[in-house]
Amino acid sequence: MAEIQVVRGDITDEQVDAVVTAANESLLGGGGVDGAIHRAAGPELAKAGAAQAPCPPGDAVATPSFGLGPRIRHVIHTVGPVWEGGGHGEADVLARCYRRSLEVADDLRAGSIAFPAIATGIYGFPSDEAARIAMSTIRAAHTQVQLVRLVAFDEETYRHLKAQE
């Protein structure tokens, strides 16, 4: 099982093999963490993403990290569920984002990965429930990734993730 670390910070500062972005189906970039990662990686990231779009909610695809490198080698783009009250399978889709991202990381032989709090920003997923899903899904995953870092951008997200440790 991977070591899981909960940290506060900006995911673009992470020193890991792969960072996960909370994307939309076009993989062209957007606001939030996707915007930060695309700004740091440069315009080639959107071109590489578009070549693999559309990415349905719950799935994940990898591209090179471009300007985020050389320490970060890969960007894994995953699309979270838009929160619609909880009765539309949102929890299952979010769990699939974490599971599929780890499967893609294994395909890349990534030893370390950093996740943002997928779907808890613009997509509105409650951060306490999202933290529970993230932690339980990662703990249950059969992955070769040795280190998983959960990067909280704000205090509330950090508190919810720490509560799941």
The reply on whether position 50 binds ligand APR by CB under 6 A is no
The reply on whether position 31 binds ligand APR by CB under 6 A is yes
Nearer to ligand APR, 87 or 155 (CB): 155
Tokens of 25: 């189906």
The reply on whether position 34 binds ligand APR by CB under 6 A is yes
Alpha-helical regions (H) of 66-120: 90-107
The reply on whether position 121 binds ligand APR by CB under 6 A is yes
Nearest to 134 by CA among 149, 112, 124, 156: 149
H/E stretch holding 59: none
Nearest to 56 by CA among 80, 74, 33: 80
The reply on whether position 157 binds ligand APR by CB under 6 A is yes
- Cβ–Cβ under 8 Å, residues 3 and 16: no
Judge whether 154 counts as a catalytic residue.
no
In whole angstroms, give the CA distance from residue 87 to residue 128: 17
Binding span for ligand APR by CB under 6 A among 45-53, 64-72, 102-110, 150-158: 150-158
Binding span for ligand APR by CB under 6 A among 53-61, 88-96, 100-108, 121-129: 121-129
DSSP code of 15? -
- Provide the binding-site residues for ligand APR, judged by CB under 6 A: 10-12, 22-24, 30-36, 80, 116-123, 151, 153-154, 157
